[in-house]
Amino acid sequence: MVNTLISYFKGAWEELKKVVWPTKNEIIQHTLIVIALSVFLAAFLGAVDFLLNLGLEKILFLG
């Protein structure tokens, strides 16, 4: 049991050595993309919500 656990962690460590980690510039670039898309999506969904709410009020209250 202990031997298989040690073997598992050794294998996991070897696999981690093979990982190509992103550079600092790549991390910054991807972070900015995520933030920009999040802001755009929030604005878009906010506008859609506002317009649908406006339309629903017009329909329910007839003007």
What is the pLDDT averaged over residues 41-61?
Answer: 95
Output the pLDDT for position 42.
Answer: 98
| Reduced DSSP (H G I as helix, E B as strand, rest coil) percent helix, strand, coil of the chain, to 5 | 85, 0, 15
H/E run at residue 4? helix 2-18
Output the pLDDT for position 3.
Answer: 87
Q: Quick check: pTM over 0.85?
A: no
Q: What would the pLDDT profile of 3-42 be if each residue is shown by its tens digit?
A: 899 999 999 999 999 999 999 999 999 999 999 999 999 9
